Structure 1
Amino acid sequence: MIFILRSLHLRRLVNEHRPLAWLLYGFALALVASIAFVVAFKYLEEVSWEEAIWQAWQANTTVGYGSRPAESSAGRAATIVLGTIGIALVGATISAVFDYRTDQRERRRMGLMNNPYQDGYVVFNFPGRARFMALARELRDAEEDVGICVVDGRLEELPDSIAALPSIHFVRGSILDKATYERAGLRNSRVVIVFPIDLSVPDSDATTKTVVDLVEQFVETDARVIHVLVDPENEWMFRDSRSTSVLEQLEVLAVVQECQDPYSAPAIQRLLRNTEGANPGTYRPQRIVGWTWRDLQVQSALAAERLQVQVNPLAIIKNGAPDNCPAAPTVIEEGDLLSMVTYRGLDWDQFEQELVRGRADVSS
């Protein structure tokens, strides 16, 4: 039974990777022919093993026949037969190497290979060239050359301008096929982003919900899952998901805000861009649990001045819900997160220590 199962597994691998199979078969046959030539030449011509190996190599690679060609009739016959076979097999093996490399490039281009990147990003449903280019540019401003895998069942291949970017991989497959999620390498990915299949159709949120539910079966517990929501009225569908929603209509909201409050949209835009100015950073408080929001605001200004860094409290996040304008008496509790506007590279541990030290100095 084990032999049958292994034979079936081997046959499946051969069918899926035919160029690789031909390469392995060619190499094995060339090796067997070369060994046969070495043994025949040694015993028929009565030479050393070294000389036999040397003659076999020269014959199979068509370099020449050296200073000790076969002299006996049997040796010459062996050279003719085994040497010819060896030459043909070596040539076929070299050709198979190029065929295999070509096949690998073609499979990668067509989205048929597994995601090779670890601790990277996986994007479901290609959002279009402009959106993806912006996404990749912002991600890589903070994480240079981070791996990004695009999963889509509608594309034959990625656009040339996207495929030419470094560390970009494409997986083609149905969102209802388990193999698609396995090939996407979700268990080894840090963040999964799910775009709607149609940014203009609210019903796309239902498909997004399906993908989010399936993704959550494969990702590790510490991986982030983010989905783009077309219609905010559909947020109820994701109530039991651990995925974080982002509104697709952010640009509309930004336009409205700018109409009512000049310069608010550019200010928020700069906050969201890694490539421009300071950005929100999310930090987990440990030493300042029990402080009020007022304490944090006052001590942050003083600690930032002492450490010569730029930090401003932005929001407190309780049970996954952000409060962008907490009341001064709001208490920072165990499990809360803090969103702080700062430049990249803030040493939060050092900053939190400085917060505590500054408050202690005031108290004393």
Structure 2
Amino acid sequence: MEPAVILFLLPARLGERFKDRKPLLLLFDLLILGAVVSAGFVVLLRFVEDVTWEEAIWLVWQTATTVGYGDQPAQTSIGRYATMAFGLMDIAIVGAGIGAVFDAREDRRRRTRLGLMDNPHRDGYVVFNFPGVSRFTGFVHEIRHVESDAPVCVVDDAIEQLPESVTALPHVHFVKGSVLDKDTYTRAKLADNKVVIVFPTHPGDPSSDGTTRVAVDLILDTVTADTRVLHVLVSPDNDWMFSHLASTAVMETLEVLAIVQECQDVHSADIVQRLLLNTQDANPMTVVPERIVGWTWQEFVTYALPAAEERRVEINPFAIIKDGVPHLCPSRLERIEEGDLLSVVAHTGLDWPAFEHALVRARE
């Protein structure tokens, strides 16, 4: 396409793209108008005042920037009238342009607040269905204890904007949109982020799992294998709906289960809570065994102690994960096979490859 045609079609294309952002569109229109008027004035001076193109451009520049007309004022009546007209138009365009800049900036803030802007974050977390101030701020606090300033985007259609206490948090974005709207997934930039979490639309209502199922299905069609998808399940009876989906379920009734365990075994709830909190004690860490593939669980547990002493770290074997299913108390003769994962309880920053080397040395 010819450059002249592109320039001719530019205003229409900008108008279509930014039709919902009038202040920004006005700014573009003013810039285009200023460019057209300046070009016309350059051509007029070039022929009316009989100057070179360079001189004509320089004279227009001086007039447009209110520097004055320098040492070479217009000599002809047409040139003088054109200079006055151009000067007045330029003052009006500059004034309107400055106002449009501030209006566009304020409009951007408003659109961001109302969830109308695309998610600008990458390699962060996307949360579908705002779970409430307490849960959300707790989530952000725990995530950022390990990943400082980790970006989080909230996608929701039921709220008009995020609460002030949430918007005060840095690197938190809001996208307003329905789970049934394709544009919602595009604006949330799911494929550019590492974890997507779907909360129930109505906590405590098992029927919400149906909506969650739809959202998870559509999300999985949007993301790549590099993005993990988690969903909060209200009722375990509805787990069958997610059986063929590559999403990890987290029970909404987890706190109820912790209460039951505490009722039957003192300190159980506190232990589970400490395992899950980044801000307290050690946490579960999933690692990939390489050098100890073929070992039994007993060998792993036995040599973990001298290896920990050598590395001067604190670590406890926790579980073995086979085909995605964790076994918390495996048989001592259970073998660690290719493709298995191990869960260990350790402090943040454990160097697993180095620890695995220490395991091998401890066995020799």
Q: Which aligned pairs between 1:119-268 and structure 2 lie closer than 5 A?
A: 119-268=123-272
Rounded to whole Å, the distance in 2 between the matches of 1:31 and 1:11 is 17
Q: Larger deviation: 16-25 or 150-159?
A: 16-25
Q: CA deviation at 1:42?
A: 4.9
Rounded to whole Å, the distance in 2 between the matches of 1:10 and 1:94 is 19
Q: Larger deviation: 177-186 or 54-63?
A: 54-63
Rounded to whole Å, the distance in 1 between the matches of 2:39 and 2:87 is 11
Q: CA deviation at 1:66?
A: 4.1
Residue pair 1:26, 1:93 contacting (<8 A) in 2 also = yes
Give the letter for the 1:111 counterpart: G
SS at match of 1:276: coil
Residue pair 2:15, 2:25 contacting (<8 A) in 1 also = no
Residue of 22, 26, 51 corresponding to 1:22: 26
Q: Larger deviation: 124-133 or 237-246?
A: 237-246
Residue pair 1:148, 1:169 contacting (<8 A) in 2 also = yes
Listed as ranges, the gaps of 5+ residues in structure 1 are: none
Give the letter for the 1:190 counterpart: K
Rounded to whole Å, the distance in 1 between the matches of 2:362 and 2:311 is 11
Q: CA deviation at 1:41?
A: 3.7
Structure 2-normalised TM-score?
A: 0.91
Determine the structure 1 residue equivalent to 2:346. Answer: 342
Rounded to whole Å, the distance in 2 between the matches of 1:357 and 1:9 is 67
Q: CA deviation at 1:105?
A: 1.4
Q: CA deviation at 1:90?
A: 2.3
SS at match of 2:19: helix
- Does residue 1:300 correspond to 2:277, yes or no? no
Determine the structure 1 residue equivalent to 2:78. Answer: 74
Q: CA deviation at 1:94?
A: 2.4
Q: CA deviation at 1:51?
A: 5.5
Q: CA deviation at 1:152?
A: 0.4
Q: CA deviation at 1:151?
A: 0.5
Listed as ranges, the gaps of 5+ residues in structure 2 are: none
Q: CA deviation at 1:64?
A: 4.1
Determine the structure 2 residue equivalent to 1:35. Answer: 39
Q: CA deviation at 1:159?
A: 0.7
Q: Which aligned pairs between 1:44-83 and structure 2 lie closer than 5 A?
A: 44-46=48-50, 52-83=56-87
Rounded to whole Å, the distance in 2 between the matches of 1:251 and 1:75 is 81
Rounded to whole Å, the distance in 1 between the matches of 2:194 and 2:176 is 20
Q: CA deviation at 1:53?
A: 4.1
Q: Larger deviation: 86-95 or 54-63?
A: 54-63
Residue pair 2:14, 2:25 contacting (<8 A) in 1 also = no
Q: CA deviation at 1:307?
A: 0.7
Query: Quick one: structure 1 residues 206 and 154, their matched pair in 2 at CA, closer, same or farther if it must change by over 3 Å?
Result: same
SS at match of 2:213: helix
Determine the structure 2 residue equivalent to 1:104. Answer: 108
Rounded to whole Å, the distance in 2 between the matches of 1:14 and 1:280 is 48
Q: CA deviation at 1:67?
A: 4.6
Rounded to whole Å, the distance in 1 between the matches of 2:220 and 2:332 is 37
- Does residue 1:356 correspond to 2:360, yes or no? yes
- Does residue 1:318 correspond to 2:322, yes or no? yes
Q: Number of aligned residue pairs: give it.
A: 356
Residue pair 2:234, 2:251 contacting (<8 A) in 1 also = yes
Q: Larger deviation: 29-38 or 261-270?
A: 29-38
Rounded to whole Å, the distance in 2 between the matches of 1:317 and 1:348 is 16
Residue pair 2:155, 2:176 contacting (<8 A) in 1 also = yes
Residue of 262, 282, 288 corresponding to 1:284: 288
